[in-house]
Structures are given as C-alpha cells and as structure tokens.
C-alpha cells in the first residue's frame, strides 16, 4: 500500500480539539511517508484517560509512537498530548517530517498536556524533528 494523502479533514461535529487528520490512541503506531494538507490538525497521538485502559492487544496508551518522513502543510497542530505516564514521551519519535506553514513563527506543535509550542521549543526543548524542516508553502 502506498502513502496516504489527506486533505481538508475537519474536526467539526464536536470532536476533540486535538482530533488530527491522523489520530493515534494506541501503542506501537508508525505514521510515515504521508502528505497532509489543509487539515484541522496533522498527526496527533492522544493518551487522555488511557493510562490503564486496555484493548484486544494490551494497553491503549500511545507508547512507541513513530512519526517520520511526512509532509504536513497548513494542518493545525502535530504532536503528543496525554495525561499518562512519562514512558509515552520517552518512547515517541517525531523526525524527518517536513512542515510547511505560512506563519513559520506560529505554535503548530503540541507536547505534554496540549500547550501549543513554536518550532524552537518543539526541536530544542522536546528534541523532536531534529532532522525535520520548517518552511513556507
């Protein structure tokens, strides 16, 4: 199967504020080589209320999330928001993604409890997308 192209996916209709074009709510997810443009949000791993929740294959918290080599254009926020254990953040990998926003100084990334952050904090403080790029479309 080839990469997905997602455009204009909206969170209308009462969905979660961080409902992304790609929403991750379980372990061992890999999102790679996709093109997202004009969506309410980009790729968001969400773990609220999932610390002890389990499904058919185990715990639902988004540990070992890998988001790499995606192109995200004017698509809200990308990141990881959760109230669960710190292992979710230690095992998450966001790298080699290409972000394109008209406002390159904007707060297009989320981490921890959902506070929106600029590129400098996304890379510098949280060590995400160290090999990623940010440019205007």
What is the model's pLDDT at position 22? Answer: 74
User: Is the predicted pLDDT of residue 10 greater than 50, yes or no?
Assistant: no
The per-residue pLDDT for range 37-94, each reduced to its tens digit, is: 888 888 888 776 666 677 777 777 778 889 999 999 999 899 988 776 677 788 889 9
The pTM assigned to this predicted structure is 0.82
Cα torsion through 109, 115, 119, 123, rounded to 10 = -90
DSSP 3-state of 85: coil
Write down the domain spans for the chain: 19-135
What is the model's pLDDT at position 85? Answer: 67
């Amino acid at each position: 199967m080839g990469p997905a192209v997602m455009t204009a996916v909206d969170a209308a209709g009462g969905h979660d504020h961080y409902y992304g074009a790609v929403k991750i709510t379980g372990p061992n997810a890999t999102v790679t080589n996709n093109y997202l443009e004009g969506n309410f949000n980009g790729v968001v791993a969400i773990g609220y209320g999932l610390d002890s929740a389990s499904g058919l294959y185990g715990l639902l918290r988004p540990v070992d999330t890998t988001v790499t080599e995606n192109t995200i254009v004017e698509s809200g926020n990308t990141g990881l928001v959760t109230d669960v254990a710190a292992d979710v953040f230690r095992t998450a990998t966001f790298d080699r993604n290409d972000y394109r926003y008209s406002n390159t100084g904007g707060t297009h990334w989320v981490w921890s409890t959902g506070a929106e952050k600029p590129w400098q904090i996304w890379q510098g403080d949280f060590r995400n997308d160290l090999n990623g790029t940010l440019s205007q479309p």
